[in-house]
Amino acid sequence: LKADDARLRSYLSSYCVGVTDEYGIMGLPELDKDVAYAGHFANDGAVPPRIEADIEAYEQVSLQKANAQHVPLEDLHVVTIATRDIVAGEEIFVYYGPAYWLDD
């Protein structure tokens, strides 16, 4: 795909989770062996909302299950940090937010 290809832009945006208005995390399966990029494999712990009426229930479950969050680091990187103790074998969940699921 070429840089100006709409398919490339669509592919990249479909794997991006916004952290702030300026930063996001790209989920690239090709980076699965590099622990520096492991944070982008963290899932949202709730069933995604499909319509606006689902947002409140989604947010309640997602925020309750979240045990980590993505935060900017020195304007260069985004890191995933634990928000509580995580036991060995427990899945890491972050809150994606309804905009991630409902934006086209």
Residue 97 resides in a domain: yes
- Percent pLDDT > 70 in the chain is 77
Output the average pLDDT for the chain: 83
* pTM for this predicted structure: 0.72
Query: Checking DSSP bridges between strand 77-82 and strand 24-26, what pairing results, if any?
Result: unpaired
> Is residue 33 in a domain?
yes
For residue 72, what are the domain limits? Answer: 6-102
Looking at the domain assignment, is residue 15 inside a domain? Answer: yes
Q: Is residue 44 part of a domain?
A: yes
Residue 70 included in any domain: yes
- Mention every residue, 6+ apart, whose C-beta is less than 8 A from residue 64: 45
Residue 23 lies in a domain: yes
Number of domains in the chain: 1
- pLDDT level of residue 15 (50, 70, 90 thresholds): low
Q: What is the pLDDT of residues 37-67, one digit of tens each?
A: 788 789 999 999 999 999 999 999 999 999 9
Domain membership flag for residue 1 = no
Chain centroid, CA 88 distance in Å: 21
Confirm whether 52 is domain-assigned: yes
